Amino acid sequence: QKEVEQDPGPLSVPEGAIVSLNCTYSNSAFQYFMWYRQYSRKGPELLMYTYSSGNKEDGRFTAQVDKSSKYISLFIRDSQPSDSATYLCAMNAGNMLTFGGGTRLMVKP
């Protein structure tokens, strides 16, 4: 079993939809949780960073962490075609970061 599980998708939604991206993990030592967006042929871009259970909001993005269930989510409101990308969850304990495999999202106009 992988330490971090993420559905690879692709996830296809119409423009304006609310998108829910999720990751589960098995290592209870993970303390920091991040979401990255990666466009094709580009490096990952940090979207959200949180270290506590609960919600963190930034514009159209909301990151949710449930440490008791070892489950994190990224919600995208009013999704746009420009949100089409691969979304990677990542988490760390100490200096090492463990990534999910990424979910490919396609937002259709």
Q: How far apart are CA 80 and CA 28, in angstroms?
A: 34
Residues near another protein (CB under 8 A), total: 21
According to the binding rule CB under 8 A, does residue 99 interact with another protein?
A: yes
If binding is defined by CB under 8 A, does position 9 make contact with another protein?
Answer: no
Q: CB-based contacts of 88: which residues, under 8 Å, 6+ apart?
A: 6, 35, 36, 37, 38, 44, 99, 100, 101, 102
Using CB under 8 A as the binding rule, the residues of this chain from 62 to 91 that contact another protein are: 88, 90
Q: Does residue 46 bind another protein (CB under 8 A)? A: yes
Tokens 């420009």 belong to which residue? 82
Residues in the chain: 109
Stretch that binds another protein, among 18-26, 64-72, 73-81, 95-103 (CB under 8 A): 95-103
For another protein, the binding residues (CB under 8 A) are 32, 34, 36, 41-46, 49, 51, 88, 90, 92, 95, 97, 99-102, 104
